[in-house]
Amino acid sequence: MDGSLGKASGKPFKWNVYYTHGEQIRHEAFENLRIGDNFARAVDSVIDTRPGSPTMGQPICREALTAPTDCVPINLFGQGAPSAEALRYVLGTTSVDVRDKLDVAAATLRGEAVSLWAGPVSTAVGLEYRKESSGASVDAMSAAERFPRFFFRPYGRDRVSVVEGFGEVL
């Protein structure tokens, strides 16, 4: 918005004000990322030799020898390997939801304040206010840092507010 205001040296002062708002919301997801701890347990497999075990003679995760587990052994070699069940156990999806905001307001006033023997004295003053904020939330597996090579990190609402002013005489 522009306009004129008052007079000094016979000429009106000019003014300008504005406000703007911007917002960005985004969702990012990456699929089929290796879940580090699950992968380590799945590749640490042994042949079950426990007498009377329902999985006797089959590959099992080593940790299943001492305690019940949801671990699925993975065979990385051979035709048809790895199984779909093993892939579901060792691969996962990481995701993040981000919201960024920016608000800016500014005002300026300029004109010729006085006229001297050498000519008019031009002046300008201004003020600007900016407020920025950003925040993100991540899935539980990323928050627990279960993806060894890649994961989103959660962060809270970050905010920055700045007020700036200026004055010029020419």
Residue extents of the structural domains in the chain: 2-31+94-169, 35-92
Range 27-43 average pLDDT: 93
On average, the pLDDT of the chain sits at 88
> In the prediction, which pLDDT does 118 show?
87
Range 33-45 average pLDDT: 93
Tokens 């006229």 -> residue: 115
Residue type for 130, please?
A: R
- Distance between CA atoms of 9 and 112, rounded to whole angstroms? 6
Q: Which residues pair with 23 in a beta bridge?
A: 101
Range 128-154 average pLDDT: 84
Q: pLDDT over 70 for what percent of the chain?
A: 90
* Closest to 151 in 3D by CA, of 97, 94, 111, 112: 94
Under the banding of pLDDT at 50, 70 and 90, the label for residue 165 is very high
Residue type for 71, please?
A: C
Q: Is the pLDDT of residue 4 over 70?
A: no
Under the banding of pLDDT at 50, 70 and 90, the label for residue 151 is low
Dig out the tokens for 49 from the structure: 């030799």
> In the prediction, which pLDDT does 6 show?
57
Under the banding of pLDDT at 50, 70 and 90, the label for residue 7 is low
Under the banding of pLDDT at 50, 70 and 90, the label for residue 157 is confident
Under the banding of pLDDT at 50, 70 and 90, the label for residue 147 is confident
- Distance between CA atoms of 12 and 4, rounded to whole angstroms? 6
- Distance between CA atoms of 102 and 63, rounded to whole angstroms? 51
> What is the distance, to the nearest Å, from the Cα of residue 28 to the centroid of all Cα atoms in its chain?
9
Q: How many Cβ atoms are within 10 Å of 27's Cβ, its own excluded?
A: 8
pTM: 0.63
Dig out the tokens for 103 from the structure: 């608000």
* Structure-model confidence comparison of residues 156 and 122, the more confident one: 122
> In the prediction, which pLDDT does 140 show?
87
Q: Is the pLDDT of residue 8 over 70?
A: no
Q: Which helix (H) or strand (E) holds 85?
A: helix 84-90
- Distance between CA atoms of 7 and 35, rounded to whole angstroms? 71
